[in-house]
Structure 1
Amino acid sequence: MTTAVISENHGAVAWIRLNRPKRLNAMNRQLVDELADALAAAEADDAVRVIILHGAGRAFCSGDDLKDLDAQTYSEEAAQSWVKAIQNISLLIMQSQKIVIAAVHGWCVGGALEWAINCDFRLFADNTRWFFPEVTYGLFVTGGVTALLTKQLGPQSAKELMILGERHDARKALELGIAWKLVPEAELLGAAEMLAMEITARPARAVSDIKRAINEGFHSSLEDAMAFETSATVRGFLTPESQARAKEF
């Protein structure tokens, strides 16, 4: 079986690459589980200071792999397990003592966009296209973004992005603050590495503590938001109309 996530440590930087390029790195259970393992391994490694999350091929990640949707959500138990696995990635990123950089290019959709938002810094290539498709086919967002983006953007803009589900370009992400910086695609990984080196030049404990302090202060209702998202997403997965719309989409 092909590895869905590849992790390599270069000095103090762990490079974690989503590796299903033929499916635009779409999320299936293998990818999610291997990503969780890679993040946990980086967290446990005292030599690692920064994690860079990126995607192989033409995209960062195109969201849920709809070909596998039935297998992952055929029952309430399966749907609960799938959504909790996705949410666990958000917790691993946001509760990590390491700084996590998202290096995003091509499509960044749905759950993958939510993971990117969970990261501490988000570098977008100039060819990035992103949107929240979930509500369009009767599902729900994850990653705590109902709390995170509402606080960052305000209720109206958050509703616009999640309810209307329109596709946006990289410039829009920068305008909203979803992207930290835009760079040409060819320079994306180099820019992520330069940022990582800047971070590793600073004291490890201070960097870790400031991340924790900011996240705990800003995201005080994250767990409540994610608990609601989990129940809402499971309900969506179990609705025949949502399943049919997802397949059609």
Structure 2
Amino acid sequence: MSNTISFEIKNKVAYITLNRPEVFNSFNREMALALQDVLKDVATNDEVRAILLTGNGKAFCAGQDLKEVTDPELNPGFKAILEEHYNPVIQLIRETPKPIVAAVNGVAAGAGANIALACDVVVASQNAAFIQAFSKIGLIPDSAGTFFLPRLIGFQKASALAMLGDKIEAQEAERLGMIYKYFSAETFTEESEKLALKLANMPTKALGLIKEAFNQSMNNNLDEQLSLESKFQIEAASTEDYKEGVTAFVEKRKPEFKGK
């Protein structure tokens, strides 16, 4: 595996860490393709029931490595950067039938911010910040920024942040509904891992169905969504985890879910 990504599985959680701290974990082609490979692996790995994505060092991810796009020999071109690097990453995040926690440890800018916001649960250190930095160099938000941001915080606020490129601190991001929670710098790592472990021990078949239901809700009308809920609820009710959950409730004990 490329050393631009560090990866380990512990207690049913896959820990994926962006690992180019010397350039604030900005993406080059190697790291983008390596992240895709890891996401594909964990999606089908039975050892993994939840995923935690974070960054090494002071930043979560500063977006695209501009040295790559300004180097005549290395520059893959924007078509390749979007269609071969970022778009597949976003698609894998949304298609993976397992909960993904983005643990934003520091600045998340450009594509780095939008990759985080595409995850299922986003938490941040109080030292973190989110920046739609694209307009500052004459670009538009990519990596599904124009899709998720207005849905998270509303059209007007998202439009302003995309155009002005304001820096949004973690506390403000939580207030806006951009992220789930922020934690103190001292407790961030522990709380993030605790959250991922909690998800890993939940009925993950149902969590996968919740994720897919939310995905489809982006395009469905009410009748279509009600029909989808019926279909998925019947599917969830046929799982071993549902039977265990009900049995544990009746027996007044803690359930032991297996993700089956």
Scaled by the length of structure 1, what TM-score is found?
A: 0.82
Q: How far has the Cα of 1:74 moved from its partner?
A: 8.1
- The one-letter code sitting in structure 2 at the alignment partner of 1:78 is G
**1:46-125, aligned counterparts within 5 Å?**
46-71=46-71, 78-84=77-83, 85-125=85-125
- Secondary structure class of the residue paired with 1:186: coil
Q: Distance in 2 between matches of 1:173 and 1:28?
A: 27
1:163/1:186 Cα in 2 relative to 1: closer, same or farther (>3 Å)?
A: same
Identity %: 30
Work out whether residues 114 and 143 of structure 1, in 8 Å CA contact, stay in contact via their aligned partners in 2: yes
Structure 1 residue 32 corresponds to structure 2 residue 37: no
1:48/1:74 Cα in 2 relative to 1: closer, same or farther (>3 Å)?
A: closer
- The one-letter code sitting in structure 1 at the alignment partner of 2:116 is A
Q: How far has the Cα of 1:153 moved from its partner?
A: 2.1
Greater Rg, structure 1 or structure 2? 2
| Greater share of residues in helix | 1
Scaled by the length of structure 2, what TM-score is found?
A: 0.79
Work out whether residues 39 and 92 of structure 1, in 8 Å CA contact, stay in contact via their aligned partners in 2: yes
Could you give the per-residue CA deviations for residues 149-181 of structure 1, whole angstroms, max 9, x where no partner exists? 222322211111100101121111111111211
Q: Distance in 1 between matches of 2:27 and 2:74?
A: 16
Q: Distance in 1 between matches of 2:25 and 2:105?
A: 12
* Structure-1 residue corresponding to 2:3: 3
Q: Distance in 2 between matches of 1:165 and 1:72?
A: 28
Could you give the per-residue CA deviations for residues 38-77 of structure 1, whole angstroms, max 9, x where no partner exists? 11111120221111000111111111111111348988x7
1:219/1:73 Cα in 2 relative to 1: closer, same or farther (>3 Å)?
A: farther
Q: Distance in 2 between matches of 1:2 and 1:205?
A: 31
Work out whether residues 93 and 119 of structure 2, in 8 Å CA contact, stay in contact via their aligned partners in 1: yes
- The one-letter code sitting in structure 2 at the alignment partner of 1:11 is N
1:52/1:219 Cα in 2 relative to 1: closer, same or farther (>3 Å)?
A: farther
The total of aligned residue pairs comes to 219
- Secondary structure class of the residue paired with 2:27: coil
- Secondary structure class of the residue paired with 1:205: helix
Gaps of 5+ in 2: 221-260
Work out whether residues 69 and 77 of structure 2, in 8 Å CA contact, stay in contact via their aligned partners in 1: no
Work out whether residues 127 and 170 of structure 1, in 8 Å CA contact, stay in contact via their aligned partners in 2: yes
After superposing on structure 2, the runs of 4+ consecutive aligned residues of structure 1 that deviate more than 3 Å are: 71-75
Q: How far has the Cα of 1:201 moved from its partner?
A: 2.3
Gaps of 5+ in 1: 221-249
Structure of higher RCO (CA pairs closer than 8 Å, 6+ residues apart): 1
Work out whether residues 6 and 16 of structure 1, in 8 Å CA contact, stay in contact via their aligned partners in 2: yes
Work out whether residues 147 and 219 of structure 1, in 8 Å CA contact, stay in contact via their aligned partners in 2: no
**1:204-243, aligned counterparts within 5 Å?**
204-218=204-218
Q: Distance in 1 between matches of 2:52 and 2:177?
A: 19
- Secondary structure class of the residue paired with 2:130: strand
Work out whether residues 29 and 72 of structure 1, in 8 Å CA contact, stay in contact via their aligned partners in 2: no
- The one-letter code sitting in structure 2 at the alignment partner of 1:82 is I
* Structure-2 residue corresponding to 1:247: none
- The one-letter code sitting in structure 2 at the alignment partner of 1:26 is S
Q: Distance in 2 between matches of 1:94 and 1:219?
A: 14
* Structure-2 residue corresponding to 1:175: 175
Work out whether residues 11 and 197 of structure 2, in 8 Å CA contact, stay in contact via their aligned partners in 1: no
